[in-house]
Structure 1
Amino acid sequence: MTVANASPAREQIDDRRRTSVDSVLDASQNHRHDLDGLRAFAIALVVAYHVWVGRVSGGVDVFLLLSAFFMTGSLVRKADRGHIGLGAYWVNRFWRLVPVAALTIVGVLVATMLLLPSGFWPAIWDQAWASLFYYQNVELAANAVDYYARGVNDVSPLLHFWSLSVQGQIFILWPLILLACWGIARWTKRRVGTIALVVFSAIFVASFIYSIWLTDTNQTVAYYSTPARMWEFAIGSIVALIPLHRALPRVAAEIVGWGGIAALLVCGMVIDVSGGFPGYLAMWPVLAAVALIIGGATANTTFAAVLGSRFMRWMGTFAYPLYLVHWPILVFFMITTDTARPDLLQGGAIVAASIVLAIAIRYGIDRPLQRLRFEKRNAWAGGLALIATASMVVVPLTQWQALENQRAEMIEAAAQEQAAELAVALEASEGPLDGDLLLPIGSRMAEEWVGLEEECTGDTIPIGASAAALCSQTIIDEGAPTFLIVGDSHAQQWMGAFAPLAVDNGYNVVALLRGGCPFALDEFSGELEACNEWRGEVTDYINETQPDVLFTVGTRALASEPDDRPLDGIDRTLLEVEDAVGQIILVRDNPRYSENIYSCVFENLDDGMACAAPLQDKLAMTNPIEDIASDKIHVVDMTEQFCPEGTCRAVIGNTVLYMDDNHITKTFMQHLIEPVGIALDESGFRW
């Protein structure tokens, strides 16, 4: 009898040392407290890196993997029991996410109204909608490749919602994939887990290859791309589906586990996460998380005991609200204090405030709400609860946008009545300013970018793909002469004055524009290879189509230097196209600044000249390209309009000249239509 009982006793001892289950996690048999702690550890890394290091940690990648790990294990167990219950699953899943997210978004909107200039409001509005409905990653990817929206992502208090949007999209997609696996399993008489393992392996391979390619070709888009991130979720699912019939020996598990923790701690310092993810470099935090999952399957390891400690599990209970609130608190601190990065003590205060707020949200709001569970029979009630929660954002946001539009219309009408002629109020900008009469309205700043009516069609489409993608036109008559505008965002801003003149004089207008890429063959660009490709295509286009007029910017002003200069290679550029065009217009660049002039104006309404600067501090006293002028090349210098009487203004009349630190508003450009026409006549240009 003693011998007979020995084997079960030894098996019980072995069970404490090894976990033998159908997957790494089977909640019905063995809840992994260490994985609860791992989630808290990942979020703690995110917060610490954001606040003190100013870099991305890789902790979000761990969070994404774990979400797929838990979700796959749960849904496969349900499928094995014969049903998944997608409606109830989705309702309960998003009920865990939406209330706290909605509360955070409302808080951000309130702080935005109180602390941010109105010029930032439209971008935050768009991101609030995107964050609430889980497409923030798409919104941010669009802004990331939109030169004219640059800077919005950097200061957005809702930036971190990109990962929640990716996760939310996977929470919709993954159950559908598993439902398909369940159908295939019934048809083939195989286990759901077996089919799912094959499917998720295929997803991993396809997504990983795509992720490497997209990260190499367009990393800013790849970073926010769900397809480029799917492989991280797929690995979490694969690990959940692979049976571990024998856990690692304890020594090996300790090595693997502590190695995983060390790898996560240093990941953000060793790797440029924000600049190199989510390609193959993202394998670092992902494999570190896998190591902790597998190593933790062995019982009584010290690293698992640390991760699964009471303190770490308690941190895990408010990890989600901590992730949500820490970033807005950090961003608004930096904005209100004009601080690029908090110091050690400031960072400690930010983290402390974030933790206190997260705990309050967890125990005051989140925990009571999570007591509500929705089964299949009352999933509709959960849907109504989600709609009611989302309305916390939808109603005030809609009202705010509507009221701001009404206010903007009233201000524009009043301002136009009081300043029909720009020159009448030249001296008014030297004293106190009436902020309610200044144009343009901050909340309508996106409308200040000048654009043509339609994308290029027919013969106006360039052959080169890069140039074709950024081609626009205003066609008044198929047989009319062509006025071609080429260059970067500074060429685009001048369309506000030159395009109306061209149309009024019977010209079709075509624009080939690329942000950050002046049309000068030797001028440096942040994306030099892509820029040079575009320049080559534009040069070929000019020589092939032979436009009647070519317009571009010929100089570059610098915020940090008093003299502007000719664009590098502008002479060589003109030589390559001069024979193909009838006339060329080169305009001198406008003054640039080191601060946002629009914000400066509204911060100094008591002094209309607070944001002004002496002309000698901004531009050379003579136009650096005036010697290029010839019978065919007409040089236009509008410096006197920006800097009357030797002072470069921020406000003239009731119009703010700049929308940021270097781009002129469309509103002011429209005032320059007549002066530009006069300057063209004086240069010898003839329509």
Structure 2
Amino acid sequence: MSQVRSSSSAARPAHWFRGDINGLRVLAIGPVVAFHAGFPGFSGGFIGVDVFFVISGFLITTNLVREVTATSRVNVAQFWAKRVRRLLPASVLMILVTLPLALWILSPLQWSTLGRDAGSALLYISNFVFAQQATDYFAVDLGDPSPYLHMWSLGVEEQFYVLWPLLIIAAAAFARRRGVSIQRILLVAFSVTIVLSFALSLYWTQTAPAAAFYLLPTRAWEFAAAGLVAMLSTKFLGAPALRATMIVVGGVVLLGTVFLLTEAAPFPGFAALLPVLATILIILGGRTREGETQVWPARLLAIAPMQWVGKLSYSWYLWHWPFIVLAGVAFETQTSWVLGTAALASLGAAVLTYYLVENPIRFNPALTQSLRRTFIAAGAATLVGLLAVGGAIVQGNNAGERYAVFQDVRLDRPAPECDRETTMVLDIALCEMGAVDSPVTVVLVGDSHAGQWKDALAEAAKQEDIRLVVRWLTACAAIGADTVSTRGTFTEGCPSFVEETRAIIQEIEPDAVLISQAEAYDGRIVEPDGGELDLPAQLDLWRSSYDETLTLFKQWSPRVGIIQDNPRVDYDPSTCLVEPGATAESCASPRDEALDATAVLQEVAREAMAGHEIDAFFTTNDVLCDEYCKVMDGDIPVYRDYNHLTRSWTMTQVPELRKMLVELVG
């Protein structure tokens, strides 16, 4: 082993460390954290992971090629041991600290999945797990999260670390047998990897997007492209002015991608070329000849603050996502200031991890001088982690058996299918339910709180020989008032959806229109351009929009009905019901609290309705609430989250909905 170390150090130039590359890590970790924390403007921040991939590909290839060139071999065991000492201590610590916190904060119904994700993270195979689950990285609901989702990228990197030295060893053996230059064989091997991997990335991005995003075969070209750069001779550096320009251009493209790329862009695919090529430009621009000073943009990347954050980037990446996810659940919000505070707090955890765990273990003499001790320690730490994970899975399975009724409660929603779909009106698809050939038509309009009634209303309409046309869009108020989410974003397509719905009603002139929408938008009602309004102005806008909508609907349809928004609780009832010792009674909400969230806009709605004849009015307030609002109706869960009703419960209301429809159509 001592011989291997002396050979490696002899082959390594004194200037092997590049501060500009360490500083480049800041341009990777910063956007990732900002993106996950929901900071506005960082829609493409997820490409920071690709920057990390390129950096790893460049540095690892540089070291491996340097070793194989000097010694005609690669000490694979030593290489893997270095990676283990570098990466495993901090990751195991994060996983084991996060696990009990997540078990405490998350529902027992999530414990089995949590254990699975933690176990796959310990074994660096979580990218396979999330690809198999077809997890949409860009649509992660922080109300039902995996605090280990970010470990997919560490899985990709570890798999690269396993396979890349083997590829270089195979290339070296082939070069010796053929009597050709190892560099030439490696150039061919890297080029073939780039072509095949990038082609697969383009194909899978369209046909299997989850696999394309999470798996190494579609990301290998990013590492290999960096490997090609590592093979370039310093003869081809170019003038200092050219290198400075390359870094500036690379930085502009990289930051432009962070700010302009959106989650809607197919990724990785062609879009991944932008961060990869930009990072390569920055790395190339920072290269120097022996004794030469780096160009000024590279020196800027190497300043002390950039070096400090760059050193912490690995630990910060490990901690930032669990902090963000668990803070979002614990505080029941996804606002940027809460998630941003969590992200900054995770930097503190990164500092402690780096100075107390990551560096001390990485350079511990007892480990660096013994491959055996390194691998035994790594195996022991992983085994301890897997035992803890097994306990979480067992507890989760037990909770699942005890509360099987709640396992699928979040999925207990109306099916997306319609009884019949037509495009006969204005070339817009119509969802028809109930008695689809009936001459009597009712149009249901609203947001997801209209959608939750879809199947129950369809059954009631069918029994009363009524055709039900359904028009709803999540987080899009039926009355057309502009609202934003808790993150301050508009619902995509809402204004056009409202206009199309009104055009449909005007065109088909239904016998009645039925409005159903959430009534807890106060605080999130804005001007059409997103401008903020104080609360009185918000209420005035809601009142006038409601009044205008009723006026228009009365012009196009003789009768209008209202389904008042249901009571809502400020917690997840299923999570409450699976807690040890919980009962339906202990999880019920005081009536005043359950009605408080909708009280303001319901009062405004009553004021708007006062000037119009409302032909039917349906409310669940007294059905669900006496002194307390129930979350279980017999053995049927009432809520699938804190504000949406389950399909199972709404179907129990079919008899009352039949009466309401008869009254509505007169």
TM-score band by shorter chain is 0.5 to 0.7
Aligned to 1:332: 326
What is the Cα deviation at residue 193 of structure 1? 2.3
Letter in structure 2 aligned against 1:108:
T
- 1:439-477 CA-to-partner distances (Å, cap 9, x unmatched) read 4376xx269989xxxxxxxxxxxxxxxxxxxxxxxxxxx
Contact preservation (8 Å) 2:51, 2:279: yes
- 1:486-505 CA-to-partner distances (Å, cap 9, x unmatched) read xxx756xxxxxxxxxxxxxx
1:61 matched to 2:50: yes
What is the Cα deviation at residue 387 of structure 1? 0.9
What is the Cα deviation at residue 609 of structure 1? 5.6
Aligned to 1:478: none
1:386 matched to 2:386: no
What is the Cα deviation at residue 275 of structure 1? 4.0
1:282 matched to 2:262: no
What is the Cα deviation at residue 232 of structure 1? 0.9
Aligned to 1:354: 346
Identity %: 26
Aligned to 1:608: 588
Note the 1:255-270 alignment, pairs <5 A. Answer: 255-270=245-260
Aligned to 1:440: 404
Distance 2:286 2:313 in 1: 20
Aligned to 1:241: 231
1:560 matched to 2:560: no
Aligned to 1:103: 93
Letter in structure 2 aligned against 1:300:
Q
Contact preservation (8 Å) 1:90, 1:172: yes
- 1:192-218 CA-to-partner distances (Å, cap 9, x unmatched) read 222111111111111111111222234
Of 14, 26, 34, 1:48 maps to 34
Note the 1:95-134 alignment, pairs <5 A. Answer: 95-134=85-124
Distance 1:351 1:30 in 2: 32
Distance 1:139 1:68, change over 3 A: same
Distance 1:336 1:131 in 2: 23
Letter in structure 1 aligned against 2:346:
S
- 1:351-402 CA-to-partner distances (Å, cap 9, x unmatched) read 4322221111111111110113689994232221111121342122222333
What is the Cα deviation at residue 520 of structure 1? 4.3
Aligned to 1:229: 219
- 1:299-356 CA-to-partner distances (Å, cap 9, x unmatched) read 331111111223322222221101111121122222222222323xx56633432222
Aligned to 2:574: 598
SS in 2 for 1:161: helix
SS in 1 for 2:25: helix
Contact preservation (8 Å) 1:127, 1:139: yes
Note the 1:452-491 alignment, pairs <5 A. Answer: 490=414
Contact preservation (8 Å) 2:566, 2:621: no
Of 39, 54, 72, 2:61 maps to 72
Letter in structure 2 aligned against 1:608:
A
Letter in structure 1 aligned against 2:304:
R
Contact preservation (8 Å) 1:215, 1:279: yes
What is the Cα deviation at residue 188 of structure 1? 1.2
Letter in structure 2 aligned against 1:560:
H
Distance 1:375 1:73, change over 3 A: farther
What is the Cα deviation at residue 103 of structure 1? 0.8
Aligned to 2:294: 300
Distance 2:417 2:163 in 1: 39
Contact preservation (8 Å) 2:28, 2:48: yes
What is the Cα deviation at residue 522 of structure 1? 4.8
Aligned to 1:497: none
Note the 1:410-421 alignment, pairs <5 A. Answer: 412=402
SS in 2 for 1:339: coil
What is the Cα deviation at residue 135 of structure 1? 1.5
Distance 1:278 1:374 in 2: 42
Letter in structure 2 aligned against 1:82:
S
Of 146, 160, 165, 2:150 maps to 160
Contact preservation (8 Å) 1:92, 1:373: no
What is the Cα deviation at residue 289 of structure 1? 0.7
Letter in structure 1 aligned against 2:111:
W
Note the 1:77-88 alignment, pairs <5 A. Answer: 77-80=66-69, 81-88=71-78
Contact preservation (8 Å) 1:88, 1:376: no
Letter in structure 1 aligned against 2:361:
L
Contact preservation (8 Å) 1:253, 1:295: yes
SS in 2 for 1:160: helix
Distance 1:206 1:572 in 2: 52
Distance 2:328 2:169 in 1: 46
Letter in structure 1 aligned against 2:205:
T
What is the Cα deviation at residue 153 of structure 1? 9.7
SS in 1 for 2:133: helix
What is the Cα deviation at residue 167 of structure 1? 0.9
SS in 2 for 1:97: helix
Distance 2:631 2:221 in 1: 50
Distance 2:155 2:340 in 1: 28
Note the 1:164-183 alignment, pairs <5 A. Answer: 164-183=154-173
Contact preservation (8 Å) 1:440, 1:656: no
Contact preservation (8 Å) 2:95, 2:118: yes
Aligned to 2:244: 254
SS in 2 for 1:338: coil
TM-score by length of 2: 0.63
Distance 1:399 1:217, change over 3 A: closer
Distance 1:59 1:99 in 2: 23
Q: Unaligned 5+ residue runs, structure 1?
A: 1-24, 413-438, 451-488, 492-515, 533-554, 574-590, 618-638, 676-687
Letter in structure 2 aligned against 1:367:
N
Distance 1:349 1:599, change over 3 A: same
Distance 1:55 1:448 in 2: 28
Distance 1:407 1:309 in 2: 52
Contact preservation (8 Å) 2:58, 2:230: yes
Distance 2:190 2:645 in 1: 48
Distance 1:395 1:375 in 2: 24
Contact preservation (8 Å) 1:143, 1:153: no
What is the Cα deviation at residue 240 of structure 1? 0.8
Distance 2:257 2:269 in 1: 14
Distance 1:150 1:46, change over 3 A: closer
Distance 2:335 2:146 in 1: 15
What is the Cα deviation at residue 85 of structure 1? 1.8
What is the Cα deviation at residue 87 of structure 1? 2.2
Distance 1:374 1:174 in 2: 27
What is the Cα deviation at residue 31 of structure 1? 2.8
SS in 1 for 2:321: helix
Letter in structure 1 aligned against 2:574:
Y
Distance 1:31 1:94 in 2: 20
- 1:118-139 CA-to-partner distances (Å, cap 9, x unmatched) read 2222222111111111121122
Count of matched residue positions in the alignment of Structure 1 and Structure 2: 491
- 1:241-287 CA-to-partner distances (Å, cap 9, x unmatched) read 12231322122222111221222223121112574321111111111
- How well do the aligned residues superpose, as a CA RMSD in angstroms? 4.6
Distance 1:27 1:94, change over 3 A: farther
What is the Cα deviation at residue 405 of structure 1? 4.2
Contact preservation (8 Å) 2:323, 2:342: yes
- 1:152-172 CA-to-partner distances (Å, cap 9, x unmatched) read 897322121111111111111
Contact preservation (8 Å) 2:114, 2:146: yes
